Amino acid sequence: MNLSRRNWFTWAGAGALAPLAFWGRRALAQDHSQHRPPEPSDALPRSTSASGYTPVRTLNGWTLPHRMVDGVKEFHLVAEEIEHEFAPGCRAKCWGYNGTTPGPTIEAVEGDRVRIYVTNRLPEHTSVHWHGILLPSGMDGVGGLSQPHIRPGETYVYEFTLRQHGTHMYHPHADEMVQMAVGMMGMFIIHPKDGELERIDRDYVVLLHNWALHPGTYRPDPSVMVDFDLWTMNSKVFPAIEPLVARTGERVRVRIGNLSMWNHPIHMHGVQFHITGSDGGRWAKGLWRPETTEIVGVGQTRDLEFIAVPGDWAFHCHMSHHTMNAMGHEIPNTLGVDQSGVEAEIRKLLPGYMAMGQGGMAEHQEHTDSGHMTGPENTLPMMMGKGPFGNLEMGGMFTVVKVRDDLAAGDFRDPGWYPNPKGTVAHRISADPDFGAPTRRGPPPGPPAELKAKPMDHSTMKHG
Ligand SMILES: [Cu+2]
């Protein structure tokens, strides 16, 4: 956003200019109602499917059903325009498959013969590329190279035998820039035919993406290359992303694909996970390596595995802007700037103007939650999560791994917040800034910054 005079007023009038401006609806409160106290562990049967593998769980998503026809697994994808909700308060016209973005996860077993019908209900031609899958050249789905484009109204059929296992993706290879920018993508999981050497108890699927859904608009802008508004896991932002739920001691795999325009360092708290696979399959154990952050590059997939440890653990992209929702990235930096006089002057012209950002951005959530700060419709506050101890100042690519001792196998319901054992929560022991005698460098400290700053006068703010 360039601050030309015209749009300076447009944004300021919308309550912005405030550094990073994010408006929106009230924060989504996480549901506490399902909270249950821990119960003694007991032995529960493990769930496996009839075909011998643990089916994957696509957070906020679904798996495409198939039917068997003469020994071939048949699937049917429909490319179409859809209405998608990123989180309550923010919807858009997107393109996807079978009613959703991402499209449904395709799940099969190494050795399967698959037949995939693709019907095009879009206003332009398309194709589907099976990203990372070994197949005959003519089934690779690159429009114009490996096949004619699928015109609107037409149905094409792809058929091939799965000769590998691993975490794969599918997406158009026709007008890719537009079609992927508006949501056309999905995951394609192939399980090993001989089963897993080390059994997986919960197998999650997450596809990373970014969207230029400018505040107040209803269609993602495909022309944007770097400055995105929304960063999503399975086309949802926190706190609308489901938690990854597990029982203590279970082996959890998270399969992550990236069809966005950025690389994402995915970080998990609480454990050292192992990187155990990719679209190259589940790697030999000697190649596994322990990490707490793994970059999932554009076009790559990575499998993370860990043994679940009780608690509520953050799971997120470590690019801090990627755990925020819609924001202006080119607004002047007001950190440490006394705006008290400026605010009153500007408000004579623009009654809704609010100067913010002098002491950091955390106050944004207070203003958006309280309704003081409103703005263009159809966008989300920069940060909007709620935790058991207060605002959880995140949006975007963030969710929580929730591990409990007392879950049944295959129970994916949100167990509520973690009941921390007594004496294991960080707590206040002093409210005196001069407490203790910490070793430090530089000149002797003055009063803390927040006590030095003049309080902002928001008293004439319109309450929305
Ligand atoms: Cu990221």
What's the start-to-end Cα distance of the chain, in Å? Answer: 25
- Cα 226 to ligand 1 centre (Å): 12
Is pLDDT above 70 for 178?
A: yes
* Separation between Cα atoms, residue 372 and residue 11, nearest integer Å: 16
Q: Average pLDDT over the chain, rounded to whole?
A: 83
Domain over 65-191 is classified CATH 3.30.710.10: no
Is pLDDT above 60 for 358?
A: yes
Greater pLDDT, 35 or 126? 126
pLDDT tens digit string along 287-314? 999 999 999 999 999 999 999 999 999 9
Write out the DSSP string of 307-374: E--SEEEEEEESSGGGGS-S--SSSPP-TT---HHHHHHHHHH-TT-----TT-STHHHHHHHHTS--
∠ Cα 405 407 101 (to 5°): 120
* Separation between Cα atoms, residue 257 and residue 273, nearest integer Å: 17
Mean pLDDT value of segment 193-213 = 94
Which pTM value belongs to this model? 0.80
Is pLDDT above 60 for 455?
A: no
* pLDDT value for 324: 86
Is pLDDT above 60 for 452?
A: no
- Cα 392 to ligand 1 centre (Å): 18
pLDDT tens digit string along 46-63? 344 445 789 999 999 999
Is pLDDT above 70 for 371?
A: no
- Cα 212 to ligand 1 centre (Å): 15
pLDDT tens digit string along 378-427? 777 766 778 999 988 888 999 999 999 999 988 999 999 999 999 999 99
**What is the SS3 assignment for 260-305?**
CCCCEEEEECCCCEEEEEECCEECCHHHCEEECEEEECCCCEEEEE
- Cα 456 to ligand 1 centre (Å): 33
- Cα 260 to ligand 1 centre (Å): 9
Per-residue confidence band for 363, with pLDDT thresholds at 50, 70 and 90: low
- Cα 295 to ligand 1 centre (Å): 9
Mean pLDDT value of segment 353-361 = 63
Any idea where the domains of the chain sit in the sequence?
Answer: 65-191
- Cα 266 to ligand 1 centre (Å): 7
- Cα 292 to ligand 1 centre (Å): 15
Q: Give the C-alpha distances (Å, rounded to integers) separating 225 from 299, 329, 382.
A: 16, 14, 20
Mean pLDDT value of segment 265-275 = 98
